[in-house]
Amino acid sequence: MLKHKNRSVWAIWSLMIISCFCYSANGYQNFDVAIYCRAQEVQHMAEPNWLKDRWDVIAHQVKVDKVYLETHRDVILVDEETITKARQFFESRGVKVAGGITYTISESNRFKTFCYTNPEQRQKAREIAEHTARLFDEVILDDFFFTNCKCESCIKAKGNKSWTQFRLDLMEEAARELIVKPAKAVNPKVKMVIKYPNWYEHYQGCGYNLEAEPKIFDGIYTGTETRDPVYTDQHLQQYQSYLIFRFLENVKPGGNGGGWVDTGAMRYMDRYAEQLWLSLFAKAPEITLFDFRRMLQPIRQELRADWHGTQTSFDFDQMMLPIKRQDGTLITPSTMARPAGYALEQVDVFLDKLGKPIAVMSYKPYHSTGEDFLHNFLGMCGIPIDLVPNFPAEANMVFLAESAKFDDTIVDKIKGQLMDGKTVMITSGLLRALQGRGIEDIVELRYTDRKDVTNKFWHRRAFWSRRGATYESSTKIVIPQIKYLTNDSWEEISCLTSGIGYPILHSADYANSRLYVLTIPDNFGDLYNLPAEVLTQIKEVLMQDLYVRVDSPSQVALFTYDNDTFIVESFLPEPVDVGIVVTKKISGLRDILTGEVLSASAAPPGRQMFGRQGRAVGDRVTFNAQIKPHSYRVFKCE
Ligand SMILES: [Zn+2]
């Protein structure tokens, strides 16, 4: 689905070697860019000067292929005449136009959405869909097509169902009967797209039906905004901007139209760029910038971080350089459209070099929850994860978090993999959930109520010398104690405290393979406190089928592609030295952006590596590299 346009070598070089961005009417080479316009702004667009003054500011700083013109939000309904004038404005400038709907009553009142058991509001929802489908051949629903209503009517209609089941059923019916059918009745050509928000672990609770709706709608779209991981109330990890796009692409292959990012909640400007980049590393064919109003907000100087000016991937000082237009005039960056444009230019020069994303497969059943959003923490530890909604029986390694408990037959599926000689790693949370559900048939482990508080870790077989080694983290972490039967299963990595230890990584042989159990700290954030050596040992097992691994502290992520190309991206505020371990025969590693060819570091004497089931692994080469703060490097094996 990725758009590949022809471009000359000169075009690549000009982007790489000149310091200012040459504005041209042509879009980016590898993706489309859309700007979403809320009803609050669209209602002013009939006034030509109001629109032209603002649009010029945006379009001089970022290349825009398309706009979404919203017809409804918070009970503001934009009339046909206004939409028609706005459409003419954009189309006369070669900008594509699509419609948007936000089904909110009051966004500022805890996201008050429509009540879908209220006959008047149902009728209103239907009329908005018809009105919009009459005006556009493509309509996207912003991510408020859910219900959190607990009015008396909804309580009565819920009956004995859980809120989750009631809302899943209600919204599936509403999607079909109030939105898509009426829209298609007035415009059979209309493409109806549902955009999903960033809270994928909790969709079902408010009726987002990821199983049924992608079949009802022509397309889906992904909210890839993650904002600040610490201070926002969602605490989403940066890796999620990549993972959620891949997950939804796996839900509707070829049908995930793009990633959607806003400018909210950041402490430094890189955070905005990272969200755009990660959506594109996941191969989003389109990026939607939310929104028209925010693209006009002034650039805040306080978002310039300490590391800016040191040629990091997003360099604030470079971003602020004047933009040269085709007629030779210079535009000074002024609003948030420019950081967007600058960030997109940085990655457009190499996205076509990336193959198909590959990663460790992890199964998350529809409407499941458990160890919420955990996969993103592993992504931030350098373990690439591809979430899939159906069990990936073909994968040689499957990782399962607690959410897999929603599959009633999950133990049989794990057994099936082990019988087939494939490996499975489950979390301590899933182990707990499967106690009494048959996991004992594979191995008798006990997830206890007791805790271990420690900062010492021990690996039985040291990485280089096969002697034991102890590693310390700077902070103590709290883990659940898992008990096992002597000589029946084995501690691979242990936590040590008060003269005793408990498993962090545990393994048990079964049939033709091995089940691993990864102990998850009570606070997922403590995964970031695991020593780099411990992370390496976990990666050794989990990433055994990938051709590359990065040995580093946490918060350095890896994005792998099937054409021997990969990206290493650091989210740390200081430079980090990493070891890139490539497990195939290669002559060198080329940095695609600088042209530098890295040579292999000398292998330590007597080093012998073993993979799954103790198999000796073939060629392994280690390269040393440094990654700047909040920066990525793109490598190609040669
Ligand atoms: Zn209600």
Name the DSSP letter for residue 585: -
The residue type found at 356 is K
The widest CA-to-CA distance across the chain, in whole angstroms, is 79
The residue type found at 30 is N
Q: What is the pLDDT of residues 94-125, one digit of tens each?
A: 999 999 999 999 888 888 899 999 999 999 99
3-state secondary structure 101-119: ECCEEECCCCCEECCCCCH
How many angstroms does the Cα of residue 569 sit away from the middle of ligand 1?
Answer: 45
Q: What is the pLDDT of residues 270-294, one digit of tens each?
A: 999 999 999 999 999 999 999 999 9
Q: Report whether pLDDT(22) > 70.
A: no
Which alpha helices (DSSP H) does 136-180 contain, by range?
Answer: 152-158, 163-174
How many angstroms does the Cα of residue 140 sit away from the middle of ligand 1?
Answer: 24
The residue type found at 279 is S
How many angstroms does the Cα of residue 116 sit away from the middle of ligand 1?
Answer: 6
Contact 247, 211 (CB under 8 A): no
How many angstroms does the Cα of residue 161 sit away from the middle of ligand 1?
Answer: 15
Contact partners, residue 557, CB within 8 Å, separation at least 6:
238, 239, 242, 379, 380, 382, 384, 568, 569, 570, 571
Q: What is the pLDDT of residues 306-331, one digit of tens each?
A: 999 899 999 999 999 999 988 899 99
How many angstroms does the Cα of residue 143 sit away from the middle of ligand 1?
Answer: 18
Contact partners, residue 257, CB within 8 Å, separation at least 6:
140, 193, 219, 220, 221, 285, 286
How many angstroms does the Cα of residue 121 sit away from the middle of ligand 1?
Answer: 9
How many angstroms does the Cα of residue 154 sit away from the middle of ligand 1?
Answer: 4
Q: What is the pLDDT of residues 551-575, one digit of tens each?
A: 999 999 999 999 999 999 999 999 9
CA dist., res. 137 & res. 183, Å (int): 10
Name the DSSP letter for residue 397: E
Q: How many helices (H) and strands (E) would you count in the chain?
A: 18, 31
How many angstroms does the Cα of residue 155 sit away from the middle of ligand 1?
Answer: 7
Q: Which two tokens stand for residue 42?
A: 């669209």
How many angstroms does the Cα of residue 129 sit away from the middle of ligand 1?
Answer: 20
Q: What percent of the chain has pLDDT over 90?
A: 85
* Residue 213 CA, distance from chain mean position: 20
* 266 SS3 class: coil
Task: Give the CA distances from residue 83 to residues 32, 138, 476, in Å, rounded to whole numbers and listed in that order.
Answer: 22, 14, 58
CA dist., res. 72 & res. 76, Å (int): 5
CA dist., res. 52 & res. 615, Å (int): 66
Contact 333, 293 (CB under 8 A): no
Contact partners, residue 593, CB within 8 Å, separation at least 6:
16, 349, 350, 633, 634
Q: What is the pLDDT of residues 393-416, one digit of tens each?
A: 999 999 999 999 999 999 999 999
Q: Which residues surround ligand 1, an ion (CB under 5 A)?
A: 115, 149, 151, 153-154
